[in-house]
């Protein structure tokens, strides 16, 4: 009986620690802001302002051949808002942004609160507010047609982009390695915690949210994803309405460079964006 009591006490202690520290286990923000020397010559550093008073750093890359806001009377064109994954900062998504800009899309990269030297602490509600500020800033740019903005979200950023789409529907939505929900990911990685749902502050119920969204959807996965299993991304796809496409890519793991700016991925994404963001 005493042994059972000790085991039960140990379980309670573990659960308490996980409950209190869960956001440090979910979010992995880097503390250093990427240097301006990384910014391409044609790009522009921007500052985003959230509704709760935070200032976030970002970069805007105009489409090739399109002058940025300092140019004379730019013609509004299509654009992509990139919602980062869980780790790193906007500089790690720069190859993707440059590739999309080369293909005719303006691109906004930004870092969430608590990431890359930004103030604030990350949370589901906070990251949604950050994405909201980002899309508002992108839509207000003279180079951008606000009716032709797509969201690109990777991993955690897919959940952020999908949540944003429920209130600000994009012209198209690209989700790379999207989790069906944070609880589903937690159950996959911590099967010994049957009450993981009850512990979570942040839930990111992406599959449920996409049932409320009617926008063209592209879901990109690797069948060997060790962080967000493809089966969970498939739930996201199945919950969404048509038109939609599900594309398994050749990649060896969740953070494979092929899933960032690989030629296969870029070909699929560009074809999809060209279809839905054309005039």
CATH assignment of the domain containing 232:
3.40.50.1820
- Cross-strand partners of 80: 107, 150
Per the model's pLDDT, the better-predicted residue between 202 and 143 turns out to be 143
- pLDDT for 187-207, tens place per residue? 877 776 655 566 777 889 999
* Confidence at 184, pLDDT banded by 50, 70, 90: confident
Crossing angle of helices 263-277/94-102, nearest 10°? Answer: 50
Give the three-state DSSP class for 4. Answer: helix
In this model, does residue 73 exceed pLDDT 90? Answer: no
Contacts of 34 by beta carbon, 8 Å cutoff, 6+ apart: 89, 90, 91, 116
**b/e map 24-50, b = 16+ CB within 10 Å:** eebbebbeeebeeeebeebbbebebeb
DSSP code at position 43: -
Report long-range pairs for 223-231 (Cβ below 8 Å, ≥24 apart).
Answer: 223/248, 224/251, 224/252, 224/253, 225/177, 225/253, 225/254, 226/253, 226/254, 227/155, 227/177, 227/185, 227/254, 227/255, 228/155, 228/177, 228/178, 228/179, 228/185, 228/254, 229/188
DSSP code at position 75: P
Whether 246 and 268 have beta carbons less than 8 Å apart is answered as no
Which percentage of the chain shows pLDDT scores above 70? 86
Which of 179, 168, 92 is closest to 130 using CA atoms? 168
How many domains does the chain divide into? 1
Please compute the mean of the pLDDT values over residues 29-53 and round it to a whole number: 88
Please compute the mean of the pLDDT values over residues 36-60 and round it to a whole number: 93
Whether 273 and 80 have beta carbons less than 8 Å apart is answered as yes
* Confidence at 120, pLDDT banded by 50, 70, 90: very high
Contacts of 120 by beta carbon, 8 Å cutoff, 6+ apart: 54, 113, 114, 126
Write out the residue range of the structural domain in which residue 122 sits. 2-277
Please compute the mean of the pLDDT values over residues 220-245 and round it to a whole number: 96
What pLDDT score was predicted for residue 11? 45
Give the H/E segment covering residue 224.
none
């Amino acid at each position: 009986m005493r042994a059972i009591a000790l085991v039960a006490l140990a379980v309670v202690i573990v659960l308490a620690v996980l409950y209190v520290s869960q956001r440090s286990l979910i979010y992995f923000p880097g503390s250093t802001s990427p240097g301006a020397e990384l910014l391409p010559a044609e790009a522009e550093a921007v500052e985003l302002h959230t509704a709760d008073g935070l200032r976030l750093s970002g970069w805007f890359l105009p489409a090739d051949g399109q002058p940025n806001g300092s140019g004379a009377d730019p013609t509004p064109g299509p654009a992509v808002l990139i919602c980062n994954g869980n780790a790193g900062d906007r500089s790690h998504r720069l190859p993707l942004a440059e590739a999309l800009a080369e293909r005719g899309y303006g691109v906004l990269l930004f870092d969430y609160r608590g990431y890359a030297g930004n103030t604030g602490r990350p949370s589901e509600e906070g990251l949604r507010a950050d994405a909201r500020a980002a899309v508002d800033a992108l839509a207000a740019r003279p180079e951008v047609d606000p009716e032709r903005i797509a969201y690109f979200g990777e991993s955690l950023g897919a959940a952020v982009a999908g949540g944003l789409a429920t209130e600000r529907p994009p012209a198209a939505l690209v989700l790379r390695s999207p989790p069906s929900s944070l609880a589903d990911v937690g159950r996959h990685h911590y099967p010994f915690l049957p009450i993981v749902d009850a512990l979570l502050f942040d839930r990111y119920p992406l599959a449920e949210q996409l049932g409320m969204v009617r926008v063209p959807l592209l879901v990109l996965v690797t069948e060997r994803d060790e962080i967000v299993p493809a089966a969970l991304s498939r739930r996201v796809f199945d919950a969404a309405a048509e038109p939609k496409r599900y594309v398994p890519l050749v990649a060896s793991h969740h953070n494979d460079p092929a899933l960032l700016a690989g030629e296969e991925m870029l070909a699929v994404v560009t074809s999809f964006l060209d279809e839905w963001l054309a005039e």
